[in-house]
Amino acid sequence: MADSFKAADLTVQLCSESLKTTSPESKAFGTVFTDHMLTIEWSEAEGWGAPRIRPFGNLSMHPACSSLHYGIQLFEGLKAYRGEDERLRLFRPMLNMKRMSKSARRVCLPAFDEVELLECIRRLVEIEQDWAFISGPSTHLYVRPTFISTEASLGVKRATRALLYVIICLAGSYFSGGSEGLSLWADPKYIRGAKGGTGDCKLGGNYGGCLAAQYEAKEFGCQQVLWLYGDDHQITEAGTMNIFLHWINEDGVEELATPPLDSLILPGVTRQSILEITRKWGEFAVSERYLTMDQLCSALEQQRVKEMFGSGTACMICHLSQIVYKGEKLRLPGVNENPQLSTRIIKELEDIQCGRTPSDWTLLV
């Protein structure tokens, strides 16, 4: 019985007709999919089957499939970036593989070899790379590995059958709207996660359970939710993003701060990259620390806030313009008011992702 699948056993079945569209820029994020997908089946009796790249198509599942009933499933998200040299690069993909393994352990899905999966994904992206060149120069590919239980039983138990699959879509703009920044709604009546929970795993239930708050935020004229936690209203995450605050802290020190990894929030790949880049600069304090709304409100009143922004694979880095909290609109420093740290970080990240700066953070496809 195979403990893990092997990329050397990968088989490829190419489609007879491409799904390519002539106007992908008119489509919303996550709606234009490429021609092929990767599928790998697992069973307790036989272990891992051989990985297979096949034409993109629907999946067939039993109505009692436990991923549908009990959320025994997880996913990842990474990008293949189109460089000026017309090559594609995956950005820090092993971090995604390791996070996927952690999520799988939490829902008792089987272990796999992270290196072997990454090679299968690299091969899939290689086959689909022409999709990155059918639109503008900033077109990238968004890669979505997914791992689900296919257990055909209504019992709440560890899966004896599972499916790991990977699909790819065009990665356009994640958020609609202008360049002034995102507005957030912060209300402590909702929480995204709790200590000891699954907030640090990329499970579908973490996102489906956020939809009611997301749509309530829109009723207040906001685009995303700023998730708070505890009686002191700790700042945790915003929508699908990690949060950063660039400010002069209570001790008069310039600091870039982000909430710590304490099982409440997702350990974002972009988050980790921002921390490593800015610590390497050595120009200001870089901290993983708890931040509360009272601290933020006080800093805004004293004009100590330089910038707030969110980070994530889908959105990259997004400037934040406003927070609605306790019925008050807290205006954050605008994009054009001060030299923005986020602009500098974006340039350094994009230079790496697109191959302008050589780095071992990228994997050439």
Give me the average pLDDT of each 10-residue run along the chain (365 residues): 90 89 65 96 97 97 97 97 93 98 98 98 97 78 98 96 97 64 94 92 94 95 96 94 97 98 94 98 98 98 96 91 95 77 95 95 97
The answer to whether 314 and 284 have CB atoms below 8 angstroms apart is no
The answer to whether 164 and 40 have CB atoms below 8 angstroms apart is yes
Question: How far apart, in whole angstroms, are the C-alpha atoms of residue 322 and residue 328?
Answer: 10
* pLDDT value at residue 315: 83
DSSP-derived 3-state class of residue 77: coil
Choose the CATH number for 7-173 among 3.30.470.10, 3.90.1170.40, 3.30.930.10, 3.40.190.10: 3.30.470.10
Choose the CATH number for 182-354 among 2.60.40.1120, 3.20.10.10, 3.40.640.10, 3.40.50.1820: 3.20.10.10
Range 195-199, long-range pairs (CB < 8 A, 24+ positions): 195/262, 195/263, 195/264, 196/263, 197/263, 197/264, 198/106, 199/236, 199/263, 199/264, 199/265, 199/266
In the chain, what is the straight-line distance between the N-terminal and C-terminal CA atoms, in Å? 31
Identical fold for domains 7-173 and 182-354, yes or no, is no
Question: Which helix (H) or strand (E) segment is 106 a member of?
Answer: helix 93-106
pTM: 0.94
Domain ranges in the chain?
A: 7-173, 182-354
Question: Which helix (H) or strand (E) segment is 202 a member of?
Answer: none
* pLDDT value at residue 177: 52
Q: What is the DSSP letter of 229?
A: E
* pLDDT value at residue 178: 52
The answer to whether 24 and 170 have CB atoms below 8 angstroms apart is yes
* pLDDT value at residue 314: 84
What DSSP string describes 109-155? PPP--HHHHHHHHHHHHHHHGGGGGSS-TT-EEEEEEEEEE--B-SS
Torsion angle, alpha carbons of 42, 43, 46, 50, to 10: -20
* pLDDT value at residue 239: 85
Question: Which helix (H) or strand (E) segment is 52 a member of?
Answer: strand 52-55
* pLDDT value at residue 213: 95
* pLDDT value at residue 21: 63
The dihedral built from the CA positions of residue 182, 188, 190 and 194, taken in this order, carries a sign that is positive
